Amino acid sequence: MTAATSRADERVADVGLLRRLLIRPELGAVVGAIVVFTFFASQSAVFRSLDGIANWLDPAATLGIMAVAVALLMIGGEFDLSAGVLTGTTGLILVTLATRYGLNVWVAMLAGLVVALAVGLFNGLIVTRTRLPSFIVTLGTFLMLQGINLGVTKALTGTVQVGGLRSASGYEGARTVFAGTVEIGGSSFRVAILWWLLVTAVATWVLMRSRQGNWIFAVGGDEKAARAVGVPAARTKIALFMTTAFAAWLVGSILALRYTSVQANVGIGQEFIYIIAAVIGGCLLTGGYGSAIGAAIGAVIFGMADKGIVFLGWDADWFKFFLGAMLLLATLANRLVRRYAEGVRH
């Protein structure tokens, strides 16, 4: 028995701290964030100032809220292409109801939330009942919502935007909560950053410390096996689609309250950015693996690159190149992780 014990000890050393760190899903995103920050901070004094940080944390926050929700969904093994355009739908509902139908801003927001959750429920039910790939199902919802956003807005206003939220009742209160600013060290930080941190913290707790978190990993890893041991797979997936829809409502409301007007085509194309941020954060495209903190850090990389390129006076087109390069690197890194984790040794 002693011989067996000492042999076991040797093998523990084999799976050492470094190895364990390397298979953390967040690792790639953390390294990427440090590299990107160091690069821009060394080139631009504004970038590394407190004002600069407040500036690039803002796009990171609104993207991050979505990326974290999308990461949970991807860990659960599904995609949601309608998430981007849904931020537009909820914003349009809020502004339209508050300005054209005289509803209080809070009531209008509640209406937006109900619609968003209904869309999430719809996506989830179709995917779990039909077993169709969520890529196709949510592509359908994406196109339908895009049509509704433009069609209804045009029919109501004759233009492709709604505005004038500033004069609606309840606007000031809602703006303070969702689109206000907080002064820290003489720089003003958007309140959205706090929402983002809150969403990330809650998502991380759910994933790592709740029973539902265990189920999310399981349905994404192997749905059949999960069901065999009694995991409510369909319910878990529907809840994930509704969580993504909730995040879209939160971001849509934040942006509508901030700009007081919404373009009917807002959010289109963003769905891929969310997925890319989640992948950079360590989510596998095949599901079953990933992290909420990673997705949040992935969003920070985006925020830094988005604003950093502007601070350096470069052409904004380079952002796309950067985006593609980051995605490719992240996918390669994730593949190594998966190989390690799934490699059966006999």
The residue count of the chain comes to 346
The only residue of 230, 313, 315, 316 in contact with other proteins, by rule CB under 8 A:
230
Q: Is 267 left (phi over 0), alpha (psi -120 to 50) or beta?
A: left
Q: Given candidates 211, 313, 315, 317, which one binds other proteins under the rule CB under 8 A?
A: 211
Residue 336 found at the interface with other proteins (CB under 8 A) = no
How many C-beta neighbours within 10 Å does residue 188 have?
A: 13
Task: Supply the minimum distance, in Å, between the C-beta of residue 287 and other proteins.
Answer: 9
Q: Is residue 226 involved in binding other proteins (CB under 8 A)?
A: yes
Q: For other proteins, which stretch binds (CB under 8 A), given 11-19, 27-35, 173-181, 309-317?
A: 11-19
- Supply the DSSP string of 224-266, one letter for each residue: HHHHHTT--HHHHHHHHHHHHHHHHHHHHHHHHHHHS-EETTT
Q: What is the closest distance, in whole angstroms, from the C-beta atom of residue 215 to other proteins in the complex?
A: 8
Question: Which range, of 83-91, 103-111, 219-227, 275-283, touches other proteins by CB under 8 A?
Answer: 219-227
Q: Does 218 bind other proteins (CB under 8 A)?
A: yes
Nearer to other proteins, 166 or 209 (CB): 209
Query: Which residues, at least 6 apart from 267, have a Cβ–Cβ distance to it below 8 Å?
Result: 84, 85, 86, 87, 88, 89, 248, 252
Which of residues 205 and 314 has its CB atom nearest to other proteins in the complex? 205
How many other C-beta atoms are found inside a 10 Å radius of the C-beta of residue 8? 9
Binding mask 164-203 for other proteins (x = CB under 8 A): ----------------------------------------
> Which of 132, 182, 184, 228 is in the footprint of other proteins by CB under 8 A?
228
Residue 235 binds other proteins, judged by CB under 8 A: no
* Nearest-angstrom CA–CA distance, 39 and 103: 48
Q: Kind and range of the H or E element at 312?
A: none
**CA-CA distance, 245 to 253, in Å (whole number)?**
12
Would you tell me which residues interact with other proteins (CB under 8 A)? Answer: 4, 8, 11-12, 14-15, 20, 23, 206, 208-214, 217-218, 221-222, 225-226, 228-231, 284, 288-289, 338, 340-346
